[in-house]
Amino acid sequence: MNVADFRRIALSLPGAEEGSHMGSPDFRIEGKIFATLASQKQGYGNLMLSPEQQAEFVQEQPDVFVPIAGGWGKNGATHVRLAAANEDLLAGALRTAWKLRLEKNAGSRGKKRASEVRGAAPATKKAPAIKNKKRLR
């Protein structure tokens, strides 16, 4: 598989759209990212999985799936070695990330921000106090 295959499969998922984050292509459902090509120069596609899903993919196919280093990886962000993946494996992995994002989106629809709650005062930013002001002439 390659970057074009990753893009084609990601965009074949219902409601998926391509966007850009920090100059790299990403794939979203309802405005939220489920996959990226941020590491395409290294031969990877990236999936936003749960830590549990990531562990399953890595255990079953360690030659294809690798946790992203650092905190993102600990939270489930996973590299896919595109050259080592086949169509069915990549499609299933992208569908898993897409479905997880859909479920998270559905769960967050019922929550309202404090500023959206009736009667709540809107959030305001207070200008920082200026200390040691010098008088200009």
Domain ranges across the chain? 3-105
pLDDT tens digit at each of 137 positions of the chain? 999 999 999 999 999 999 998 899 999 999 999 999 999 999 999 999 999 999 999 999 999 999 999 999 999 999 999 999 999 999 999 999 999 999 999 988 765 443 343 443 444 444 444 444 444 44
Burial (Cβ within 10 Å: 0-12, 13-18, ≥19) of residue 98: buried
The length of the chain is: 137
The CA-atom distances, in angstroms, between 134 and each of 126, 127, 128, 129, 137 are 22, 18, 16, 14, 10
Q: What is the pTM of this model?
A: 0.79
Domain 3-105: top CATH class = alpha beta
